[in-house]
């Protein structure tokens, strides 16, 4: 009896680890895509969303991934959203007192 219970507990733990690892993976992919958008924007300073999407080669991403990555970049302060659908390099470097490798400063 005990072996059966421990197998069930072990299966639950493994499933939970896979779930956590999948979440970690998704967060890492989203952060990498956000940094990619910031790198594509950096030489230009300000771009419209469609141009940023083209320059970052995000047109081949799954549906909605560009918007999620852009939102993540805004949350990470790598990119600022401007009116009329434009994006600008974030101010992360200024806020932290030193130049952030992906900011325009």
36 three-state secondary structure: helix
Distance CA 54, CA 57 (A): 5
Percent of the chain with pLDDT over 90: 54
* pTM, full prediction: 0.70
Residue 28 clears pLDDT 50, i.e. is over it: yes
Mean pLDDT across 15-36:
83
Q: Which CATH code for domain 2-96?
A: 1.10.10
Most confident of 14-18, 63-67, 93-97: 63-67
Distance CA 30, CA 73 (A): 9
Mean pLDDT across 72-90:
95
Residue 99 clears pLDDT 60, i.e. is over it: no
pLDDT value for 94: 41
Q: How confident is the model at residue 98 (pLDDT cuts 50, 70, 90)?
A: very low
**What is the DSSP code string of 75-95?**
HTTSEEEEGGGEEEE--HHHH
Mean pLDDT across the chain, nearest whole number?
81
Q: Delimit the domains of the chain by residue range.
A: 2-96
Residue 102 clears pLDDT 50, i.e. is over it: no
Compute the chain's Rg from CA coordinates: 19
- Beta strands 79-82 and 46-48 are unpaired
């Amino acid at each position: 009896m005990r072996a059966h219970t421990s197998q069930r507990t072990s299966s639950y733990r493994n499933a939970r680890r896979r779930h956590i690892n999948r979440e970690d993976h998704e967060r890492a992919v989203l952060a990498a895509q956000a940094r990619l958008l910031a790198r594509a924007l950096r030489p230009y300073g300000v771009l419209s969303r469609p141009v940023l999407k083209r320059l970052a080669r995000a047109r081949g991403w799954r549906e909605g991934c560009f918007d999620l990555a852009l939102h993540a970049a805004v949350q990470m302060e790598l990119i600022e959203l401007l009116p009329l659908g434009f994006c600008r390099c974030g101010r992360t470097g200024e806020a932290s007192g030193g130049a952030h490798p992906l900011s325009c400063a």
